[in-house]
Structure 1
């Protein structure tokens, strides 16, 4: 059995008044309304009914708790063991907000004071802070004379704030442990965490089943904390729907991708099969908006209709600026780009759809551990993402984490220092120092010392210790070398320094016999596709027509029958994709036009110089003059190899200032060499995987 704080107080009064206590007395003592009293009694009866106990209301004596002596003793023991929740100021205000958002009628201040074991003065002080916070989200706190206080405002705002509070005050382990214990829809198990009690276990169970069991494959790449957010939001919606509180979506499908809406419909369909809830289209749209903020790690491909060219460019800009200001080239890390693209695409939806969460101590620690990186990222986020100035502290921390992870994957080259212990004269020491400088440039700093000086040296300052003589009983690692530094010694020192310089870990050997055939086939396929793309590549001039569509038609006419089947269909699809989102590269005169469709026979990439400029929009939504058209085509069912190699080209278009300059001004030979180098790097990388 589990009883809430108020239920504990009510049961205690019933146990103390064995002969009965009237409703009016209970209301005055607990500072609650008649309606609230009835609701609390109904909740208690539901819990104690399986124990053969009940609450009766006698007109002459009032309410009484009756049942077997053993049952009453068990209830009394439960009350004694159930200690009241202890909150700090922030938690109490969160709990207070939650209680008010869920209340269907006015709540008396004195009643809240009793619930949270504080004075009415403290509650009044909390309400001032609560009122300001609610106002930021379009909700108001109304005080009704002689009746109490109540929150007024849109249902969707209530849910957003409630789900964020519940999520932020429950850690992942506690949350999923509780879910694991819910074995069925009629489970009566109540959680120990106060904030989880706002949602009936029944709705948590159905939310868990729909998300984790029925659609597991769809969420397989989603992190635990985001799964927690989705399940909490869904369970809260089910709770509110069951109590006849519905959202009203005015801007129907605005900003919702078809794939996410389909996922929301699938999940809600699972709920409908098992419950009698009235789930409206507005409820599905509301849940879709919550799902928009989830990182599904969907593949990012310029050929996809939902690929956001603008944010792709903005992230490249963010990486470029952070690289320049941190003096560390993050642009070489493809993983960083795709992780940021996935994260920020979802983050902006979260910022638009969620209330501000209380600070996460772990994330705050990240910000303090990387102060310079944090400040650089913070300033550049504001400069680049001007439409999203209200960047949440937690989201900033996650962006910092992605860059910090990149540093771990690709550590900055460390300046190495060497201590050379030399027992010979100064002439020999100088020769040795000169040879180290010449043949081991990895060592930036060399200090030569005599054996007699060893007692005054801080050996921890050096990455490697070299000595021209054997050092008996010397406890630290060192290497004995010849005063003339022989070739084999140079090689050995270089090998030892490599791991110190970059922190490289030894790579496990592959199962050569087992993978030889697969590796060969994979490399052959890549080389075949790469060769076809390079053979077809060219930079040509094309006469500009009255419209961009007509100019494109001239280009496609040459490809018909070889690369494409129907130039009219392909042209329409390319122009429609161009209208869907800007594709011009900012501060240049070129754009990457692309399409993957059933009318394309094989992958193709080429460049066309226009005889006259054409006005288009850049990825930054600013007007620009197009003079060079990059065209990339692919079959609708392209292979993984084709997708990877074309992806390398499209990514390189905005990878760096050098690449941008190459694509804008380079001739056929220069661009051919650049694409060749990309393909070679990709093939080598796949061999190492």
Structure 2
């Protein structure tokens, strides 16, 4: 079998998902490395893929591209998949770095870390930036001092919880079980520096904990966690003692702590008893806490990478996909959903090959957890939303402000044109030059320097526009009130466009007749299930032809930018898509509130969902009327209250009044 280095695998994995040449700069930014590193790897990669009858071509001005038959590319993809399961990834390296930092009692030099891990100090510095959020998630601080090193600051209980999560990212239940049966090769590489101590601590801890957990039905995963919690305590209690905090625990938890304490070969301090009490209380609740999020997030990243390879689509570039899947899997563990076969059939019919790819990869990445086809179907919805990513058809006009000179502004403008095809006009200005411009002519402003107070939507960005800032700009785009805005028309004095007026009245009547308030009696808390149910109603009403495609687009809207309206019980889902047959406005009343991300990026309980949809190629009249509805929702407090609590008759009156204003404006414009 051909062996690939980690860097070779990452570059080839990226190029296999591209059909056109890719700039070296783009590859470097995506992989989090330098252009020099990519250039250095080119010759080695070319030699490696020669055995697959493939070539790595560089096209001047365009970039790198893999050249060869599709059958040979498929063989390379299969070889990469096999190596992907065996080679340590960037995530594995970052897990090891985090683990090593937590094992140090004080400051450790970065040079010493780099030497111990056989990597460059610059790589250590980059990884420290990326793992900082892991420490924050556990209320820990990664303190760095230039020229000295790095140190983890925080409570020991939080350090242990993070350590347990790191171990779980590298170890599954089956391998753990085999270790207990005597196969020492099942110990993960992460624990090898103290291999003998870990094996002894794990076996001793399982012998202590086994009789206790027999009295309580725990999942295999919780049994593994209980054993590792006790083993970790044995490994750290002398050098890293716990600090006691006054808390109360259920009587049965304290009784089990007493039993465990009597079976241990060492005496527990009050603080160390508390560590066991905390862990046992979590087991009693039998639910995943926030410490599982890191495990799931790293597994989801691996899931996305391997599905990308298997399916041949670059899903890894989509940050919203990772967030959506993590959120879904975390919520799944707290639900016990039924298994309606119609959901599976719908997803399999729409995305047959994608469903197979996700299912195949899930069985290896989540080998110690069983997910039903029903839940995998909703995973596919998240992937499907990326495949049918909506491109906003309405042109936007953006102003780029930069004080560093023409080069920086041109760089930012080029990045914007690469990432946002929907940007119709991109103009640049200096900071002093904006005083001479009418900023209302622009939909939003991007600046590389802080701006004075301006009324237009604006963002402060890096001229290189890295991926996280691309996501910020995308969120801003989605939030702009232009989704349904028709192109501006020039009025003709003294002329009444009867055909347009007739179409406007006809469309207003159709929207009014289609409008209804539907009740959703679903007991599920999952947004995916809810949106599929909403979309099925719209298919039944002949508004859309594919419930799966529509629901993926609605889900996509929510993942890219919150849709809950702050201060209300409403969420507004809107969009234009090829699955829509005719424009419509519907409301859905939920029998129980669902927590959704709001437009202010805060979670809100939502009880009524408003859906505004239009075909991808929609007439101006329809877009104008739908735009008037979205404007009416927040027109006044009284109007917002009507949308929140009004019945069908009251909302019919609101629509009638809203449409009447549109038609009256049309008549007035024609008379100018």
Under TM normalisation by the shorter chain, which class is it? 0.3 to 0.5
Structure of larger gyration radius: 1
- TM-score by length of structure 2 reads 0.32
Higher RCO structure (Cα 8 Å, ≥6 apart): 2
- TM-score by length of structure 1 reads 0.31
